[in-house]
Amino acid sequence: MEQYVIKGGTPLQGKVTISGAKNAALGILAASVMTDEEVSILNVPGVNDTAVMLDAIRAMGGSVIRKDVHSFDICGRDVDPYSPGSDTLRKIRAGYYFIGAMLGKYRYASVPLPGGCNIGSRPIDQHVKGFRALGAEVVVENGTVTAKAERLKGAHIYFDVVSVGATINVMMAACLAEGMTILENVAKEPHIVDVASFLNSMGANVKGAGTDTIRIRGVQRLHASEYTIIPDQIEAGTFMCMAAATRGDVTIEGVIPIHLESIAAKLREMGNTVISYDEAVRVIGAEKQRSTDVKTLPYPGFPTDMQPQISAALCLAEGTSVVTESIFENRFKYVDELRLMGAEIKVEGNVSVIEGPVKFTGAHVTAPDLRAGAALVIAALSAEGISTVDGISYILRGYEDFDEKIRDLGGEIRVAESERDVQKFILSVG
Ligand code: EPZ
b/e map of 87-104 (b: 16 or more CB within 10 Å)? ebbbbbbbbbbbbbbbbb
Interatomic CA distance for residues 340 and 239, integer angstroms: 23
Q: Whose CA is nearest to atom 42 of ligand 1?
A: 163
165, burial (CB in 10 Å: exposed 0-12, middle 13-18, buried 19+) = buried
**Can you give the pTM of this predicted structure?**
0.98
Ligand 1 midpoint to CA 94 (Å): 10
137, burial (CB in 10 Å: exposed 0-12, middle 13-18, buried 19+) = exposed
Asked if residue 61 lies in contact with residue 33, where contact means CB atoms within 8 angstroms, the answer is: no
Candidates 380, 354, 376, 381; CA nearest to 289 is: 354
Ligand 1 midpoint to CA 122 (Å): 7
Interatomic CA distance for residues 105 and 109, integer angstroms: 9
Which of 47, 161, 333 to mutate to test ligand 1, by most ligand atoms within 8 A of the CB atom? 161
Ligand 1 atom closest to the Cα of residue 187 is 24
Ligand 1 atom closest to the Cα of residue 189 is 12
Backbone angles phi, psi at 123, to 5 degrees: -70, 170
Interatomic CA distance for residues 418 and 422, integer angstroms: 7
Q: Is 397 in the pocket of ligand 1 (CB under 6 A)?
A: no
Which H or E run includes 388?
Answer: strand 386-390
pLDDT confidence of residue 274: 98
Which of 233, 327, 370, 393 to mutate to test ligand 1, by most ligand atoms within 8 A of the CB atom? 327
Residues 6+ apart with CB under 8 A from 140: 113, 124, 128, 146
Per-residue pLDDT of the chain (430 residues), as tens digits, is: 799 999 999 999 999 999 999 999 999 999 999 999 999 999 999 999 999 999 999 999 999 999 999 999 999 999 999 986 567 788 788 999 999 999 999 999 999 887 556 788 889 999 999 999 999 999 999 889 999 999 999 999 999 999 999 999 999 999 999 999 999 999 999 999 999 999 999 999 999 999 999 999 999 999 999 999 999 999 999 999 999 999 999 999 999 999 999 999 999 999 999 999 999 999 999 999 999 999 999 999 999 999 999 999 999 999 999 999 999 999 999 999 999 999 999 999 999 999 999 999 999 999 999 999 999 999 999 999 999 999 999 999 999 999 999 999 999 999 999 999 999 999 999 8
Please, what is the Cα angle at 181 between 227 and 223, to 5 degrees? 30
Which H or E run includes 70?
Answer: none
Cα 226–chain centre separation: 23
Interatomic CA distance for residues 394 and 333, integer angstroms: 14
Asked if residue 356 lies in contact with residue 319, where contact means CB atoms within 8 angstroms, the answer is: yes
Ligand 1 atom closest to the Cα of residue 49 is 15
Query: 279 in helix, strand or coil?
Result: coil
Interatomic CA distance for residues 346 and 90, integer angstroms: 34
Query: 366 in helix, strand or coil?
Result: strand
Neighbours of 131 (CB within 10 A): 29
